């Protein structure tokens, strides 16, 4: 790679010297030092080179695109993702067509209308018809693209359905923490950043009874064909939630919660079959450089059928049951409701050798002795 860069630098240096020499020659001719008005074959050679560059550049661009297709993401695993991709390729097609038309004319004209003795240029100080064409057509195309994109954005960013699975994702240096609403209801409890400490990493507020059954996980599990609402937060600096196969990307901003909802319609197993890759995994990554450990901000994502998802949810232990010492923060009028999530008298929770803090190294698991 270093040799290639060095070679390109040398080529550009030589081209710079050649251009400077040509400029010197042109300036001298403008000063009247040129003996006659003949330019020889230089214009014809330049015209041919323009055509050659057009043909070679077009072939190289097509080859580069075809060669890169193996590295493209597979078809999106969400309906909104496929709609987004369709709009992207529509815009790319229009831009590419306009690019090739304008550049083909540019290079062809450079060849066809090269300097010839005796030929006089014709100037059009104004051409209202031509000006109308190159103004109205781009304006109409742009208006259609903007309207189509706005409709897609409106639908994608609309309010999530009431039956959506609610999941909170919190980014911190340098990992993600997911909080689920628990098995008893589909309602996340409140949070308070002032309550964040070594164990309560997302600031779960136990004064809200909806938080009693909330649990945290180091994996993101999603049921297939069900709306999922991601409530996104950042604990320290700017992060960005990126689920490439779902075409989901939303910044996690400190002090400003964001959200995004979608429907995943392909399970992890389906994607393994479609891609022919038995090791395929969905992934959640951070796409905002957030510090030296940015590269490690990844989380495994599992899309599974409803039965498997419900079974996984049922296996999870609430955060409160794993942290009974925080029971003292529960208001007196809610202690009876919280009792079912706390160890019985004389029992102590025993944490298995697993991770419940969302560091991405294990799955939350707690047993009771």
Asked whether residue 359 carries a pLDDT value surpassing 50, the answer given is no
Cα separation, 334 vs 153, whole angstroms = 42
Nearest to 222 by CA among 262, 254, 192, 255: 262
**pLDDT above 50 (res 364):** no
What percent of the chain lies above the pLDDT cut of 90? 47
SS3 324: helix
Number of Cβ atoms within 10 Å of the Cβ of 341: 21
At residue 184, the pLDDT reads 77
User: For the residues 297-320, what does the mean pLDDT come to?
Assistant: 92
- Return the pLDDT at 303: 95
Nearest-CA neighbor of 322 among 279, 290, 367?
367
Residue 113 is predicted with a pLDDT of 83
First to last CA, the chain: 60
pLDDT of residue 351: 44
- How many whole angstroms separate alpha carbon 317 and alpha carbon 367? 8
- Strand pairing class (227-234; 165-172): parallel
Task: Give the mean pLDDT of 63-85.
Answer: 92
pLDDT of residue 358: 42
Mapping DSSP onto H, E and C, the string for 105-147 reads HHHHHHHHCCCCCCCCCCCCCCCHHHHHHHHHHHHHHHHHHHH
Nearest 5°: phi and psi at 242? Answer: -135, 115
- 185-193: long-range contacts at Cβ-Cβ below 8 A with a sequence spacing of 24 or more? 185/210, 185/213, 188/214, 188/231, 189/214, 191/233, 193/235
- If you average pLDDT over each of 181-185, 211-215, 297-301, which comes out highest? 297-301
pLDDT score at 51: 86
Residue with tokens 């706005």: 150
Within the chain, residue ranges assigned H as helices are 2-30, 42-68, 79-112, 128-156, 268-275, 306-315, 319-322, 335-338
Question: What is the band of 4 on the pLDDT scale with cuts at 50, 70, 90?
Answer: low
Transcribe 192-256 into DSSP letters: -GGG--SS-TT-B-TTSGGGTT-EEESSEEEETTSEEEEEEEESSS-EEEEEGGGTEEEEEBBTB
pLDDT band of residue 291 (cuts 50, 70, 90) is very high
The structure tokens 């309906």 sit at: 79
Buried b (16+ CB within 10 A) or exposed e, 27-63: eeeeeeeeeeeeeeeeeeeebeebeeebeeeeeeeee
- Mean pLDDT confidence for 83-103: 93
The mean per-residue pLDDT over the stretch 336-342 comes to 83
Q: Is the pLDDT of residue 362 over 80?
A: no
In whole angstroms, give the CA distance from residue 91 to residue 135: 19
Which of 222, 254, 259 has the alpha carbon at shortest distance from 238?
A: 254
Report how far Cα 248 is from the mean position of its chain's Cα atoms: 6
User: For 283-297, what is the mean pLDDT?
Assistant: 92
Beta bridge partners of 251: 240
What residues pair up with 171 in beta bridges, in sequence order? 176, 234
- Cα distances (Å, whole numbers) of residue 94 to 15, 81, 85, 140: 33, 20, 14, 13
Q: Quickly state the pLDDT bin for 140 (edges 50, 70, 90).
A: very high
- pLDDT (0 to 100) of residue 111: 84
Secondary structure class of 176 (helix, strand, coil): strand
Spatial strand order of the sheet with 165-172 comes to 215-217, 175-180, 165-172, 227-234, 258-263
Q: What is the pLDDT, as a whole number, of residue 145?
A: 92
- Decide: residue 369, CB within 10 A, 0-12 exposed, 13-18 middle, 19+ buried: exposed
Higher pLDDT, 14 or 62: 62
Q: What is the pLDDT of residue 50?
A: 85
pTM, whole model, 2 decimals?
0.74
Asked whether residue 319 carries a pLDDT value surpassing 70, the answer given is: yes
Q: Write down the pLDDT at residue 39.
A: 61
Domain chopping of the chain, boundaries:
42-115+129-158, 165-368
Which among 193, 284, 180 has a CA at the least distance from the CA of 233?
Answer: 193
Q: What confidence tier does 355 reach under pLDDT thresholds 50, 70, 90? A: very low
Q: Which is higher by pLDDT, 228 or 353? A: 228
* CATH 2.30.110.10 for domain 165-368: no
Render pLDDT for 5-48 as a digit per residue (tens, 0 to 9): 667 777 777 777 777 777 776 666 655 544 445 666 777 788 88
Average pLDDT, the chain: 84
């Amino acid at each position: 790679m270093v040799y290639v860069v060095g070679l390109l630098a040398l080529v550009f240096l030589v081209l710079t010297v050649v251009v400077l020499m040509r400029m010197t020659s042109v300036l001298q001719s403008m000063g009247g030092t040129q003996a006659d008005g003949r330019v020889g074959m230089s214009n014809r050679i330049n015209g041919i080179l323009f055509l050659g560059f057009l043909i070679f550049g077009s072939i190289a661009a097509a080859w580069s695109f075809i060669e890169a297709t193996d590295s493209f993401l597979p078809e999106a695993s969400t309906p909104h993702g496929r709609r987004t991709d369709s709009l992207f390729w529509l815009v790319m097609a229009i831009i590419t067509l306009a690019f090739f038309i304008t550049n083909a004319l540019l290079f062809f004209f450079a060849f066809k209308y090269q300097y010839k003795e005796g030929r006089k240029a014709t100037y059009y100080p104004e051409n209202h018809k031509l000006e109308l064409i190159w103004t109205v057509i781009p304006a109409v195309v742009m208006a259609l693209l903007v309207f189509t994109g706005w409709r897609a954005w409106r639908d994608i960013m609309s309010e999530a359905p009431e039956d959506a699975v609610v999941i909170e994702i919190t980014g911190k240096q340098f990992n993600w923490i997911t909080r689920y609403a628990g098995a008893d209801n589909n309602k996340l409890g409140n949070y308070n950043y002032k309550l964040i400490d070594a164990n309560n990493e997302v600031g779960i507020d136990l004064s809200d009874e909806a938080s009693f059954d909330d649990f945290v996980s180091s994996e993101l599990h999603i049921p297939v064909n069900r709306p999922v609402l991601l409530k996104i937060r950042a604990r320290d600096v700017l992060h960005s939630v990126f689920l490439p196969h779902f075409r989901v990307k939303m910044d996690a901003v400190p002090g400003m919660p964001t959200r995004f909802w979608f429907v995943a319609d392909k399970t992890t197993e389906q994607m393994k079959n479609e891609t022919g890759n038995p090791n395929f995994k969905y992934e959640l990554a951070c796409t905002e450089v957030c510090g030296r450990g940015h590269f490690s901000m990844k989380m495994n994502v599992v899309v599974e059928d409803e039965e498997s998802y419900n079974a996984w949810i049922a296996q999870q232990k609430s955060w409160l049951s794993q942290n009974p010492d925080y029971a003292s923060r529960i208001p007196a009028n809610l202690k009876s409701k919280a009792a079912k999530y706390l160890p019985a008298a004389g029992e102590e929770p025993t944490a298995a050798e697993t991770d419940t803090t969302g560091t991405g190294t294990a799955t939350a698991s707690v047993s009771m002795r």
